[in-house]
A and B are shown apart, each in its own frame.
Chain A
């Protein structure tokens, strides 16, 4: 076990998975990747509870919005920072209030790395201000 905070990346596209992993690792997170909705659904019920989840909305089997609902409704995981990634600006619009952050694809490496750095628990600059994305 490392003392780095854990980020789970839920994303079906392999290349994007790789990029997100690189970005989060660059921001000093430990990472775990999941490629489909069903596995993601099972994983969030298990330990360890991650610090941050990067969640794609378009996933095989189980839709990302359902996973978001599950995370936010379970007391265990309700404090987990959720960053939604989507190419659909309408979904992004709808989730503007529900998720902690919504990143509209295309997402650049630097953008995610910088956001992750701001989310990192070692950063003690008080509550996070609004961050314009998309």
Chain B
């Protein structure tokens, strides 16, 4: 076996002719095989002859044979050389022609024409179709026929027509079989080439895809490594599969220690302030593209966390990604601002409360009767301190809404009560300004609505107050109706100057009012509408404005119709 293994490459090297045309290569290899076989036989015969001569049988015949053998060996080698290095066609033609000649002189003409050697001529005919071209069997059948004629002519014998016919018949058979063999091979090669091509294309595609993916992965990796925000990626089973280096520096936990943790385990990490854990867990377990960021205190840092599902182009969810941003500095500033605003407001309120109440007591004659001028003065003190207090209240509310501290308490409330409470507060200011306050409830609105009536009241008072402030004459109307099956709405419309389209987008911004002059004229610092909007959004609703300059404005607050609550839920 071993020998065979070592011998085979050598043999292949000896016999293979490396040319591009596979047919040529195959033919030349075949010729090489024949030549090699012939070579071995000739060398063996030569050695045997030499042996005979050496053993004393040095007849003239033996010596002549050894010279002839040597010549044929050399001829074989030359043919091999031509076949290998120059041309298979020439080598094969020369070889077969030589074979024909050898056959022609190997026996007596009689035996060649009619006797035992007649069939030898079939050898080059058959071989020609294999070694040269399929149709060359006819060439050699013709050559053999000519040969027979020549031999017949020389020896004066009649030509063997039957044998000649036999040669051509053999040539035909050889031609047919060689040709079909070549065609079959040809088809096989085409098939192979096609297959090779397909494999090549597929391989290229695969490698391109792989390269692309590697580049993408590399980019993603680089982004993940580079950004200052901590990033966690969760798989479909809510286990962490990616944690970037920033995640480590934000939390003080090595990123690879986070890999594999599920959400509840992750949320129990020591550094997280226990009160913030449920919030974080809720966010991570229900990631949403519109989810509001959650603040989580972690060690001494405040992190703003957001989570969103990872969805494929086909809408399939692969898991989720959570981003942790260092919010410490912002949170501190915000806290300072809130503390400052709340403190200032508180410190301002207490003395103003005293001023206000004393003015009220004076005006209402608690300390004895007043003349008209005294009453007027007391009333002015009262009204102006009230204005100042409203400003402070607005500031305080704004600060609290921004701090996210206001909570919504839902309770079933008779719908009519919302408007009654409003009337009791706002009827007088409206009348004082000569405005009519109209309130109405659409007939399809339920008798009771689940809402935070305190907040609704704040919204209504703010909107109506605003409307009264800006409406010189006419009316202010409050309308409760159902916007659709799931939404109810409060609309406050006035017959005021209206808000120019360009300004409409800004009215819900804090500290904004139409033209600065109105500020002086109407007082207030413009926090009202922004508070209304924040309150509406806090309750899952929204506010929109429709306004025509010169005709009036309508603010519509839409709120979700809450299902009737159970007692426990309302707590």
- Residues of chain A having any CB pair with chain B under 8 Å: 13, 15-16, 19, 22, 26, 58, 87-90, 93, 96, 105-110, 132, 134
Known: A89-B400, A90-B405, A96-B409. A106 touches B349 (CB 8 A): yes
Could you tell me if A110 and B364 are in contact, using CB atoms closer than 8 angstroms? yes
Q: How far is the CA of A58 from the CA of B347 in the complex (A)?
A: 11
Could you tell me if B357 and A89 are in contact, using CB atoms closer than 8 angstroms? no
Q: Which one of B346, B354, B409 has the greatest number of beta carbons of chain A within 10 Å?
A: B354
Could you tell me if A87 and B360 are in contact, using CB atoms closer than 8 angstroms? no
Q: How far is the CA of A13 from the CA of B348 in the complex (A)?
A: 13
Could you tell me if A19 and B346 are in contact, using CB atoms closer than 8 angstroms? no
Cβ of B407 within 8 Å of any chain A Cβ, yes or no, is yes
Sorting the interface of chain B by its residue count into under 10, 10 to 19, 20 to 34 or 35 or more gives 20 to 34
Q: How far is the CA of A26 from the CA of B357 in the complex (A)?
A: 14
Cβ of B345 within 8 Å of any chain A Cβ, yes or no, is yes
Q: How far is the CA of A20 from the CA of B435 in the complex (A)?
A: 35
Known: A26-B366, A109-B361, A109-B366. A13 touches B354 (CB 8 A): yes
Could you tell me if B457 and A106 are in contact, using CB atoms closer than 8 angstroms? no
Q: In chain A, what residue has the closest Cβ to B356?
A: A106
Known: A88-B342, A93-B406, A132-B421. A16 touches B350 (CB 8 A): yes
Which chain A positions have C-beta within 8 A of B457?
132
Could you tell me if A108 and B349 are in contact, using CB atoms closer than 8 angstroms? no
Could you tell me if B389 and A106 are in contact, using CB atoms closer than 8 angstroms? yes
Pairs across A and B, CB under 8 Å, 27 listed: A13-B354, A15-B351, A15-B354, A19-B353, A19-B354, A19-B358, A22-B366, A26-B366, A58-B346, A87-B350, A88-B346, A89-B397, A89-B400, A90-B400, A105-B350, A106-B352, A106-B353, A107-B357, A108-B357, A108-B360, A109-B357, A109-B361, A109-B366, A110-B360, A110-B364, A132-B454, A134-B454
Chain A proximity mask over B334-347: 1 for CB below 8 Å, otherwise 0: 00000000100110
* 4 A-B pairs closest in CB distance: A15-B354, A106-B353, A19-B357, A87-B349
CB-contact partner of B361 in A13, A22, A107, under 8 A? A22
19 new A-B contacts at CB < 8 Å, known A19-B361, A93-B406, A108-B357: A15-B357, A19-B354, A19-B357, A22-B361, A87-B346, A88-B342, A88-B346, A89-B397, A89-B400, A90-B400, A90-B406, A93-B407, A105-B353, A106-B352, A106-B353, A109-B360, A110-B360, A132-B454, A134-B454
Q: How far is the CA of A16 from the CA of B356 in the complex (A)?
A: 10
Q: How far is the CA of A106 from the CA of B350 in the complex (A)?
A: 7
**Closest CB of chain A to B55's CB: distance in Å?**
129
Cβ of B396 within 8 Å of any chain A Cβ, yes or no, is yes
Which chain B positions have C-beta within 8 A of A109?
357, 360-361, 364, 366
Which chain A positions have C-beta within 8 A of B357?
15-16, 19, 106-109
Q: In chain A, what residue has the closest Cβ to B390?
A: A106
Q: How far is the CA of A15 from the CA of B360 in the complex (A)?
A: 14
Q: How far is the CA of A56 from the CA of B349 in the complex (A)?
A: 14
CB-contact partner of B349 in A90, A93, A105, A110, under 8 A? A105
**Closest CB of chain A to B125's CB: distance in Å?**
115
**Closest CB of chain A to B411's CB: distance in Å?**
10
Q: In chain A, what residue has the closest Cβ to B406?
A: A93
Q: How far is the CA of A15 from the CA of B361 in the complex (A)?
A: 13
Which chain B positions have C-beta within 8 A of A13?
350, 354
Q: How far is the CA of A46 from the CA of B364 in the complex (A)?
A: 36
Q: In chain B, what residue has the closest Cβ to A15?
A: B354
**Closest CB of chain B to A82's CB: distance in Å?**
20
CB contacts under 8 Å to A, within B160-196, are: none
Which chain B positions have C-beta within 8 A of A87?
345-346, 349-350, 353
Which chain A positions have C-beta within 8 A of B396?
89
Q: In chain B, what residue has the closest Cβ to A133?
A: B454
Which chain B positions have C-beta within 8 A of A107?
353, 357
Chain A proximity mask over B375-390: 1 for CB below 8 Å, otherwise 0: 0000000000000010
Q: In chain A, what residue has the closest Cβ to B361?
A: A109
Q: How far is the CA of A93 from the CA of B403 in the complex (A)?
A: 14
Q: In chain A, what residue has the closest Cβ to B571?
A: A97
Which chain A positions have C-beta within 8 A of B421?
132
Which chain B positions have C-beta within 8 A of A19?
353-354, 357-358, 361
**Closest CB of chain B to A90's CB: distance in Å?**
5
**Closest CB of chain B to A14's CB: distance in Å?**
9
Q: In chain A, what residue has the closest Cβ to B382?
A: A108
Q: In chain A, what residue has the closest Cβ to B421?
A: A132
Which chain B positions have C-beta within 8 A of A108?
356-357, 360
**Closest CB of chain B to A10's CB: distance in Å?**
15
Q: How far is the CA of A26 from the CA of B354 in the complex (A)?
A: 17
Which chain A positions have C-beta within 8 A of B345?
87
Which chain A positions have C-beta within 8 A of B397?
89
Q: In chain A, what residue has the closest Cβ to B407?
A: A93
Q: How far is the CA of A15 from the CA of B357 in the complex (A)?
A: 9
Q: How far is the CA of A110 from the CA of B357 in the complex (A)?
A: 9
CB-contact partner of B358 in A15, A26, A89, under 8 A? A15
Q: How far is the CA of A87 from the CA of B358 in the complex (A)?
A: 18
Q: How far is the CA of A26 from the CA of B356 in the complex (A)?
A: 18
Q: How far is the CA of A134 from the CA of B364 in the complex (A)?
A: 21
Q: How far is the CA of A88 from the CA of B346 in the complex (A)?
A: 7
Which chain A positions have C-beta within 8 A of B400?
89-90
Q: How far is the CA of A79 from the CA of B361 in the complex (A)?
A: 31
Q: Which one of A93, A105, A107, A110 has the greatest number of beta carbons of chain B within 10 Å?
A: A105
Q: In chain B, what residue has the closest Cβ to A58?
A: B346
Q: In chain B, what residue has the closest Cβ to A107?
A: B353
Known: A106-B389, A110-B364. A16 touches B353 (CB 8 A): yes
**Closest CB of chain B to A61's CB: distance in Å?**
18
Q: In chain B, what residue has the closest Cβ to A96?
A: B409
Which chain B positions have C-beta within 8 A of A88?
342, 346
Q: How far is the CA of A22 from the CA of B364 in the complex (A)?
A: 13
Chain A proximity mask over B458-502: 1 for CB below 8 Å, otherwise 0: 000000000000000000000000000000000000000000000
Q: How far is the CA of A110 from the CA of B407 in the complex (A)?
A: 29
Q: How far is the CA of A101 from the CA of B346 in the complex (A)?
A: 20
Which chain A positions have C-beta within 8 A of B351?
15
Q: How far is the CA of A134 from the CA of B371 in the complex (A)?
A: 32
**Closest CB of chain A to B429's CB: distance in Å?**
15
Q: In chain A, what residue has the closest Cβ to B385?
A: A106
Q: How far is the CA of A58 from the CA of B366 in the complex (A)?
A: 28
